[in-house]
Chain A
Amino acid sequence: MTTRLLEGSEAIAEAMIAAGCRFFAGYPMTPFTEVLEHMARRLPEVGGVCMNAESELEAVGMAWGAAATGTPSATGSTGQGLSLMQESLAEITLARVPLVVFNMARAQGDYFQATRGGGHGDYRHIVLAPMDVPEAVELTQLAFFLAATWRNPVLVFGDYYLAHTTGSVDVSRVSYGPLPPMDWALDGSSGGSRGAKILSPLGTHKRRDGQGYNLADHYRFCAEETARMAAEVDPLVEVADTGDAEVVAVAFGTPGKYVRAAVRAMRADGLKIGYVRPITLWPFPSAAVASACGSAKAVAVYENNQGQMIEDVRLAVLGRAPVRFIGGLSLDSAGFGIAPDLDVGVIRERLERVLEEVR
């Protein structure tokens, strides 16, 4: 084990390379920019390619093309840039191309974009939300494994803090097990075989019956695969101190770390408070959240947005306890999500208020 002191963006880049990523395309945008910088420097050193795309639309297109050849590939941006990519991200999913996508978001307003699918049609992406640099290193590698396993895009949802916090991390390759064969990948070699491959959002194979594509068949097939993925992907979640908790706090990503610190401090003072942090945002760890909140008198959700994940928490808790929103937009003047409210004291105060209400 070798630990190195790395900024989050560089750690993520190194984790991508450790996971086997050999193609990256991006367009600069704060706070995603440094991920692109590191990939531009590092990928050629390991025989990979990094493209400085002329727009986010082209970045996702290039990554789509590279991924189609079976090359582990990634792209990313901030939520704003990802908005531009959504049309492609929707179709890449229907074409069943594995791709890892990073959102180094500004605050947490992109939860819906990430988990509901920001594009058209009926699709889902696996979404992983690390709370700090070591976890980002781990989840980045897991993202490549899940993408290849499910032939589906996987989104890693970070933020300004994650991109710019320096931490001591070990970026060794993590093996998550064997991957399915990539018999779908294009290299041209099946040409002229009377069964040339196709990778398309319109169908999984060429139809030789002269009837062309059948989108109904294809969309149903994709829906079945999505349902299987939803059922079989085990969502990650961190749960602490919920056994006797009167109030359970729920948060994801960077704020999760602050909420956890507030909860630990309150526990140390004898307050009956617990903590749940969904790490996988889709599929949402509904069962774990429900069970953690089962005996609570109230659930308090902290997000740096107007309240988005709270909808999934409510769906998980299903009325067993009132679900209160204790978050809210907290931004710097540039809107990057450097949040004055992201403060253990502020969060503790809000949690104490919820505790008082339920007593």
Chain B
Amino acid sequence: MTERNIVPTDRPPSEPARLVRDFTPELIDVGTHHLCPGCGEPVAMRAAVEAIEELGVTQRTIGVFGIGCYTAFSNNLDVEVLQALHGRAPSLATGVKRAKPDAFVFTVQGDGDMVNEGLQEVIHAAARGENVTCLMLNNGVFGETGGHMTATTVIGQRTKNSLEGRNAEAHGHPILLANLIAQLDGSAYVARGAVNTAHNVALTKQMVTAAFEAQIAGRGFSFVEILTMCPTGWFVETAEAPEYLGENLAAVHKAGVLKDLTRTG
């Protein structure tokens, strides 16, 4: 698309309109992505890269990416990236951090990647107190395949392979991962945020920043689960997705700081 300098008529010519790139964090290298309209993942990624910039760790950051829609951002961000397999980012992050303790290491995985395919990886990384930060973008579906049930899909949620809605008898119960991680010795900071409202985006940014700070201070494992919209995978109108998130996902996967040992001793 050709970039056009459109100046709104309610501003004097001496104040040219601000363009998308004026709002884009430095570390988002390529502004265009191919994720669906209304997707929450770019919002979550933006919070992460803003925090990296603000904490001044850009030149020692290595991001380890899982496989999902968000993998697109391994190409778009101006931080070093190690691409992992589906489910395996925490073990790669462990190898990176142990080999290069000065590096700032974060992972990005979805709920399918982290909770379905690679659950034991994140559990063990947390229990080891691995000094890395894992981010989990939780939309309750396999978004990249078109909206299939994951281990975090909430009871009643319709997906392409639970058309009548997830029911506990047939499909079991969702795993509330952040709550599980919070119980493990070794995890220093555990929180669950959401990006469905401006307020929640701001809170999530604070959580991501706190998690990153925990790593920088060498406190051990830090984890932020971020509830993200997936209107395509939820089969809801784009504009309705934030509300759907609040009423469904967030009703079960409750947002909040679940553990914070960084303020004590």
A240 at interface, CB cutoff 8 A:
no
Known A69-B103, A196-B78; judge A191-B59 contact (CB<8 A): yes
B43-97 residues with Cβ-Cβ distance < 8 A to A are 57-62, 64, 71-72, 74-85, 88, 90-97
In angstroms, Cα B193 to Cα A19, docked, is 46
A61–B91 touching, CB < 8 Å: yes
In angstroms, Cα B92 to Cα A60, docked, is 8
A269 at interface, CB cutoff 8 A:
no
Could you say which residues of chain A place their CB within 8 Å of the CB of B59?
A: 188-192
Interface stretch (choices A204-212, A301-309, A311-319): A204-212
In angstroms, Cα B62 to Cα A49, docked, is 19
Apart from A62-B92, A200-B82: 6 A-B pairs, beta carbons within 8 A: A61-B92, A65-B82, A65-B97, A193-B78, A197-B81, A209-B30
* B195 → chain A closest CB, angstroms: 22
Could you say which residues of chain A place their CB within 8 Å of the CB of B75?
A: 198, 203, 206-207, 212-213
B199 at interface, CB cutoff 8 A:
no
Other-chain contact of B92, A54, A55, A68, A194 (Cβ < 8 Å)? A68
In angstroms, Cα B56 to Cα A188, docked, is 12
Could you say which residues of chain A place their CB within 8 Å of the CB of B32?
A: 210
Most buried by B among A73, A194, A196: A196
Known A58-B121, A69-B103, A192-B59; judge A53-B78 contact (CB<8 A): no
B103–A187 touching, CB < 8 Å: yes
B124 at interface, CB cutoff 8 A:
yes
* A208 → chain B closest CB, angstroms: 6
Most buried by A among B29, B88, B99, B121: B99
A88–B120 touching, CB < 8 Å: no
B96–A65 touching, CB < 8 Å: yes
Q: Lowest 5 CB-CB distances: which A-B pairs, in order?
A: A65-B95, A61-B91, A200-B83, A65-B92, A66-B95
Known A68-B92, A198-B83; judge A187-B100 contact (CB<8 A): yes
17 A-B interface contacts by CB (under 8 A): A59-B91, A60-B91, A61-B95, A62-B91, A65-B95, A65-B96, A91-B85, A186-B62, A187-B103, A188-B100, A193-B78, A196-B80, A199-B83, A200-B81, A206-B29, A206-B30, A206-B74
In angstroms, Cα B85 to Cα A202, docked, is 11
B-side interface residues toward A, CB under 8 Å? 26-27, 29-32, 34, 57-62, 64, 71-72, 74-85, 88, 90-100, 103-104, 120-121, 124
Other-chain contact of B99, A73, A87, A199, A202 (Cβ < 8 Å)? A73
In angstroms, Cα B72 to Cα A88, docked, is 20
A252 at interface, CB cutoff 8 A:
no
Counted as pairs of residues, one from A and one from B, with CB atoms less than 8 Å apart, the total is: 167
A-side interface residues toward B, CB under 8 Å? 22-23, 25, 49, 51, 53-55, 57-69, 71, 73, 87-88, 91, 95, 186-203, 206-210, 212-213
Could you say which residues of chain B place their CB within 8 Å of the CB of A68?
A: 82, 92, 95-96
A212–B64 touching, CB < 8 Å: no
A188–B95 touching, CB < 8 Å: no
Could you say which residues of chain A place their CB within 8 Å of the CB of B61?
A: 188, 191
In angstroms, Cα B104 to Cα A134, docked, is 41
In angstroms, Cα B31 to Cα A190, docked, is 19
Could you say which residues of chain B place their CB within 8 Å of the CB of A198?
A: 74-75, 80-83
In angstroms, Cα B85 to Cα A61, docked, is 9
In angstroms, Cα B26 to Cα A304, docked, is 59
Could you say which residues of chain A place their CB within 8 Å of the CB of B120?
A: 54-55, 58
* A203 → chain B closest CB, angstroms: 8
* B144 → chain A closest CB, angstroms: 13
A23–B99 touching, CB < 8 Å: yes
In angstroms, Cα B265 to Cα A100, docked, is 41
Other-chain contact of A190, B74, B80, B84 (Cβ < 8 Å)? B80
B99–A66 touching, CB < 8 Å: yes
Known A68-B92, A194-B29, A210-B30; judge A62-B78 contact (CB<8 A): no
In angstroms, Cα B91 to Cα A67, docked, is 12
Could you say which residues of chain A place their CB within 8 Å of the CB of B57?
A: 188
B78–A64 touching, CB < 8 Å: no
B103–A196 touching, CB < 8 Å: no
Other-chain contact of B79, A25, A49, A59, A196 (Cβ < 8 Å)? A196
B104–A188 touching, CB < 8 Å: yes
A58–B91 touching, CB < 8 Å: yes
Known A55-B120, A58-B124, A61-B121; judge A192-B79 contact (CB<8 A): yes
